[in-house]
Structure formats: C-alpha cells, structure tokens
Amino acid sequence: MDLAAWLRLTLVPGVGGETQRTLLKAFGLPEAIFAAGPAALAGVVGNDLATGLLRHDCAADIDAAMAWAAQPGNRLLTLADTEYPQSLLGASDPPPLLYAKGRIELLNRPALAIVGSRNATAQGRRDAEAFARALGDAGLCIVSGLALGIDGAAHRGALTSAAGTIAVIGTGADRLYPARNEALARDIVENGVVISEFPLGTPALAGNFPRRNRIIAGLALGCLVVEAAPKSGSLITARLAAEAGREVFAIPGSIHSPLSHGCHQLIRQGAKLVETARDVLEELRWEVSGVDAAAPVPGGGSDGAGEAQVLASLGDTPSSLESLAERSGLTPAELLAILLPMELAGRIAQLPGGLYQRLR
Amino acid sequence: MDLAAWLRLTLVPGVGGETQRTLLKAFGLPEAIFAAGPAALAGVVGNDLATGLLRHDCAADIDAAMAWAAQPGNRLLTLADTEYPQSLLGASDPPPLLYAKGRIELLNRPALAIVGSRNATAQGRRDAEAFARALGDAGLCIVSGLALGIDGAAHRGALTSAAGTIAVIGTGADRLYPARNEALARDIVENGVVISEFPLGTPALAGNFPRRNRIIAGLALGCLVVEAAPKSGSLITARLAAEAGREVFAIPGSIHSPLSHGCHQLIRQGAKLVETARDVLEELRWEVSGVDAAAPVPGGGSDGAGEAQVLASLGDTPSSLESLAERSGLTPAELLAILLPMELAGRIAQLPGGLYQRLR
C-alpha cells in the first residue's frame, strides 16, 4: 500500500530527509523505490544505504503509524497529498511525510510565525498573545512551536481568533511536549493543528528543534520575534525565514532587558521593527491582497490588483516562485500572500517542484 | 571696530541669517558692507533691506553686547574667528555671530549630540546620563539643548566626564532658559560652554528652537535620540543631523511607551539602533580614529589608518568635505571624526568655505 511505502521510506534509521528526497527524485513514488532492486538503489545512494533500506524491518513501526493515523483527527500527509502544506514545497527540503493532528485544512492558509523565548517576561507573553489575536483576526493563521513562553502565548492568542493556529513540534506527534503545555496542546488539536516530521515516539532531542524551526519558518509568510536572547533558537528561526524569502519582524524593548537584545540584533540586521499588528499587516501588504483569504473560500473570489499582477506574470507556462518574483517585482513573501488565496479559490494550481500554473 | 560691525549686521530687525550671509558673500567683512553705500547694498538685497541696514540705530544694542562680551568668560565669535566651531562651516547656514559663555575651546572638539523628550521617563533620563558619561569618557564632547528631561540629563552626565559639554540655547545668552535648569546652566558655564546665535535679551520663542536644533545637529558627528514622542523637536534635530551627513542613533524601548515611538520611527527610517555607548563609538569608528582626540593635543600625534587615508585623499589642493567623502569612501561623519583631531594637532587646516588643506 502507498502510505506504507512512504512510512517505510522515512522510518529506516540512517536514511535522512536528503536521501529520501534523492530517492524520490530518482524513482518517483516510494513504491517504485522499493521495487527498484538493490543494484538500482545502490547506484543512487550507495551500497550501505541501499542495503539498509531493503533489509531494515519497519513492519511494526509502520503498523503502529497506520493505527495512529486511523484514529479520529490524525492524518499522515505525504509530499504527494494535496493537503500537504504548499508553502513548504518551495523550500529545498520539504519533509516527505508529516504527522498531523487536528484541522489539516489550516496548513494551506496564509500564516504568520510568532516565536520567542521560553523564559519570556509577562509583558512579552501578553504582547505575543495580543499580536497573535489581532493577526489571527485579520485572517492569518499563527504558526509556532508549542514551547513555553512566547510560543504558548502566541498559540493561546490565536485560538481566540478565527484563523486558527498551527503547532509544529520537534517530538513525535504522539508525544506532545512540553508536558506543562498539555492542556494547550489538546486545545490546539481540537481547534487548530499539530504537526511533526518526526516518527512517532521521537522524544525531545535538542538536535531536532532546528529542523522543527525550519518548518515553522517555511509555513509562514513572515516570522515575528517577540522576545529573544542573543544566540537563541528564535533567532535561528528568523534567519531561516529570511533565507526562505520570508519577512522577519521584531518587537523592540528596553535596552536593559536581555530578552530584547535578540530582537534588537535582528532589527540591526534588517528585520522590520514593529510596534503593532498593523505594522506587520502593512509590511505584508495584507490589506491589499490577503483579506479575502480570511473568509471561507468563495466560488469566484475578487480579482485584486495583486492577483491581476500575478496572473499577468504567470503567463501560460508553469513558473517557479523565483521567476514570478523576478517578473512581478514582488518579494516571495508578498507573492505567497497572493498565491495562496488564489490557489484556495481554484484560480491557480501548484505543481510538484513548486511550480505555479494558471487554471483559468 | 570690526566686532561692532558684525554686531550691527546681525542686530537689524528683518535682516535674517540668509541676508547676512548674502551680504558677507558680496562684500566680504561686515565693515565693507556698511562702507558700500545704499546703491551697492540695494543692488544685492533690495531697497527696503538696504535702507533698514543703514538707518537702523543699533548703537545701544551694540554697546550692551560689547559690555556683555567684556565680562569674564563671555565671548562673541564671528565666522572669521579661528575659535568659531569649524564643524558648522560645512553647513549651508552657519550663524555669522555666536554668543558664547564658558570654555569656547570645546566648540572645536569632536562632539556627539544627545537629545530627547522634555517629559522623559526616569529610565530615559538615567540612560541619557549614562550614555553621556560613557561617550564623554571616550573623548566626545556632548552637545544638547539645556532643556528639561533628556537634554539636562545628558549635560549632567557629560559634566562628570573629561570631555565637557556644549549647551546650545534658543534664547539670548544672557537669558538661560528654562529657569529650573539654572544651577545646571551655571555649572555648564563653569565646566563647559553655552552658546546662542540669538541677540542678548531674546526670550524663549517657539519659532527659535528649530534654528537652535540645527546648530546642535551641525556641531556634532552624530545625534543620539534617547526618548522622543512622534512629531517632537528631537526628531527634527535628528532629521537635520541626517541631512547634514551626520549619523543618527536611537535607543529603542517598550512598544507600550509613547516616548519610544519617536525612536522607533527613526530606526525604521534608517537610524542606527543602539543599546550601549560602545555601539555608538563603533558606528563612528571612534576607536580607530578618535581616541587621540580625547587627550590633550600632542605635538605630533599618531598617524592612524583613517588619517593616512584622509591625507591621501586630500592631496595638495584644498578639498571640500563632499569631495573628500567621494575620494575616501568615508561618510561625512566618519571624515569629521578624523579631520577634527587632525586639525587640532595642526596637521590640516580648515579654510573659509569649509575647504580642508594639508599643512605638512
């Protein structure tokens, strides 16, 4: 069965995301990989990995994952699924398989990441919650990492808005971490969605959190850092967001607060200083292009200035985000803010490889 | 007498700075202006101003100003005086006459402006004082406007450092304003210098403060804004500083503090976000080029990398700040930080018109 092959591909120890994507590129779907035989596999990934792939017995793990996916609200999303978050496809390293719990439709909504320190101040947590609520009310789904401090406050604020929230976790989707956020996690599963790229049972390992941060950055049009110490994980997320062409926003604070120093560092490096949710929306040109996306997807939808511009840039052949950016003069973040609602409204489609195509 | 002619030129009602400079340009020194006769004057500034200049009786005002200047510590500085602040000569509108009380030698030291709100918070005042002290200890003379709040705190901090402080006031030099800063003003006259371009007796008029701010900006290598409300006078000073090629620095603060919003606005417009005095010094490349200037002027002095670069750019003909900037790749602020100590050490001279020349 197809899904079992996806699981098998991702559950062999030592076969990481890069190898998985190399194999998918060479052979197509996972079933074709396992049908290709040892010589063909070895030709692509070398003898050791080929042997591991074919010999490793994942049957029990696959059964467990299938059983998990059969529970109400749980889903396995592969790169080939239409429900897979399209915003991740433009990145160089989308996870081949995502474990999701909750409202998976949120994964293709326009989103904004809000991240920050685990040891946030009370004011920082209040700010995170208020920004999340206001940006959620404006139609942006709020992405964060379910950590204590800023992350949790951002999820809480988003849960009171209409647009929902996405928690990207660095543990298995059956292990909601940290324990102190268990009630929040249950609330997110009910009213938002929790996703993980890590196999079930994966414990909290420091090495996995930077990979988790990459997903947070990739899912969102921009990344807002509320409070962060210098050299903290939030700054990594912000850097990943910038590298992926997303906008980075930072909230300033007192020069005497160590948790503002990371934000100040980002601002000096070019992040947008923001005082209000409106500052974020204006920078994303959200009023122009994105308000429609907050409402349920209509049959037709309005054809705003941004959409007309993108349709003109698209022409009749599938185009990458990069070439669209070049032709339209818009940033990748601005483009994504326009493309996602267009896709939801069925006016364009995203093809494998991150290419966009007009539908009518 | 020469000084009397300078006073006469600047004491005629209706004859502003621009007219004064037009006349100086046309006729040279003030004595030549008044010797030129009505027809020649009218040819340059029109009939009405020419008549006013020749007919207005300034004798009593001139006597009073000469008597003021004869008191210990008081000085009148004309554009032609070598003690006139050389940093103002590069601007388009240096005041032809300055009234100074105190240590006029400070007017040609490398300086940094620190400005901000009259209604500053206690933390803002502490920050202004601490930055002024640290930057003063690094050898920068601190320029401010003797107002309540940030200005006063900056002067106080500077007075505890070795480099001294300059108060630029918007009233006559015989009217130290505001009254609540009288003790501070006396301290500055003793250990720093107070200057004004306004005739003796000029009361506090709202219209004069922007002109005062222009002098603050012009005297300094850069302008640090500590706390400022949007649309406040401090932002005007910062804008004037930026227009004069000076660096602008701003201290961030809580998004919930209205007095940080002006600073945040400046940062969004390109001002450097600073958390420490070191940030300011690094931006000014002060460690490289300026530390010598803090010490008493030596006979020779070190010939640092910045100086060598400037000397090479200077060549053998007098050069303007603009052409030096073009040739050296340094900003005007960086250049001034290098030029001033070189001038103090007698290695270069500044000629009228803001041209710089090598001396040896």
Write out pLDDT tens, residues B6-54: 999 999 998 999 999 999 999 989 999 999 999 999 999 999 999 999 9
Most confident of A298-302, B33-37, B101-105, B174-178: B101-105
Which of A254, A264, A272 is the closest to B254 by Cβ?
A254
User: What residues in B contact A127, CB-CB < 8 Å?
Assistant: 255
Q: What is the mean pLDDT of residues A21-42?
A: 92
C-beta neighbour count of B126 within 10 angstroms = 15
Tokens of A60: 């029990």
How many whole angstroms separate alpha carbon A297 and alpha carbon B286? 58
Mean pLDDT within B83-97: 90
Q: What's the confidence (pLDDT) of residue B164?
A: 95
* CB-closest option in B255, B256, B275 to A255: B275
Among A55, A90, A97, A119, residue whose Cα is nearest residue A259:
A119
With an 8 Å Cβ cutoff, is B252 touching chain A?
A: yes
Task: Return the residue matching tokens 């040896």.
Answer: B360
A227 vs B: CB within 8 A: no
> What pLDDT is recorded for position B292?
41
Distance CA A207, CA A148 (A): 18
Q: Is the pLDDT of residue A302 over 60?
A: no
Name the percent of chain A in helix, strand, coil, to the closest 5.
50, 15, 35
Q: In chain A, pLDDT over 70 holds for what percent of residues?
A: 90
Q: B267 and A260: CB-CB below 8 Å?
A: no
Quick check: A294 pLDDT over 50? no
The 3-state DSSP class for residue A178 equals coil
Beta-strand ranges (E) seen in chain A are 74-78, 97-102, 111-115, 141-144, 165-168, 193-196, 222-225, 247-250, 272-273, 348-351, 355-358
Of A256, A219, A234, nearest to A106 by C-alpha is A219
- Checking if the pLDDT of A39 tops 90, the result is yes
Interface test with A, best of B225, B226, B255, B274 (most A CBs within 10 A): B255
Give per-residue pLDDT as tens, B112-136.
Answer: 999 999 999 999 999 999 999 999 9
Q: What is the ipTM of this complex?
A: 0.76
The predicted-structure confidence for A202-245, as pLDDT tens digits, reads as follows: 999 988 988 999 999 999 999 999 999 999 999 999 999 999 99
Residue B59 has pLDDT above 90, yes or no: yes
pLDDT score, position A293:
38
Nearest to A79 by CA among A101, A95, A55: A95
Q: Are A220 and A290 in contact (CB under 8 A)?
A: no
A186 near A210, Cβ under 8 Å? no
Residue B319: DSSP 8-state: B
**Which sign, positive or negative, has the C-alpha torsion B237, B266, A269, B275?**
positive
Exposed / middle / buried, residue A329 (Cβ in 10 Å: 0-12, 13-18, 19+) = exposed
| pLDDT at residue A353, as a whole number | 61
Across the A:B interface, residue pairs with CB atoms under 8 Å apart total: 49
* Closest CA relative to residue A113, chosen from A200, A181, A212: A212
Residue owning tokens 């007095």:
B259
Between B179 and A171, where is the model more confident? A171
pLDDT of residue A166: 98
> Is A272's Cβ below 8 Å from some Cβ in B?
yes
Reduce the DSSP state of residue A100 to 3 states and report it.
strand
User: In the prediction, which pLDDT does B307 show?
Assistant: 73
Q: A213 in helix, strand or coil?
A: helix
Give CA–CA dist A203/B321, Å, rounded: 63
| More reliable by pLDDT, A179 or A1 | A179
Burial B132-155 (b: 16+ CB within 10 A, else e): bbbbbbbbbbbbbbbbbbbbbbbb
Please tell me the distance from the alpha carbon of residue A27 to that of residue A16, in angstroms, as a whole number.
17
Whole-number average pLDDT of chain A: 88
Q: What residues does A127 pair with on adjacent strands?
A: none
Backbone angles phi, psi at A241, to 5 degrees: -60, -45
Comparing B291 with B237, the larger pLDDT belongs to: B237
Q: What residues in A contact B127, CB-CB < 8 Å?
A: 255
Average pLDDT in the A49-74 region? 95
Structure confidence by residue, pLDDT tens digits, A152-171? 999 999 999 989 999 999 99
Contact (CB<8Å) A260/B273: no
Question: Looking at residue B23, what is its pLDDT?
Answer: 94
What average pLDDT is seen over chain B? Answer: 88
Residue of chain B with shortest Cα separation from A262: B275
Cβ-proximal residues to B223 (8 Å cutoff; 6+ apart), any chain = B112, B113, B114, B115, B216, B217, B237, B238, B241, B246, B247, B248, B249
Q: What is the mean pLDDT of residues B96-105?
A: 97
Instruction: State the Cα–Cα distance between residues A34 and A31, nearest whole angstrom.
Output: 5
Coil, strand or helix: which one is B242? Answer: helix
The model carries a pTM of 0.78
Q: Touching check for B254 and chain A: CB below 8 Å?
A: yes
Residues listed for chain B: 360
Which tens digits make up the pLDDT trace of B301-331?
333 557 777 777 777 667 777 777 777 777 7
In the structure, how many helices (H) and strands (E) does chain B have? 18, 11
Lookup result for tokens 């040609």: B108
Is residue A128 within 8 Å of residue A153, measured between CB atoms? yes
User: Could you give the percent of chain A with pLDDT greater than 90?
Assistant: 71
Mean pLDDT of A334-358: 70
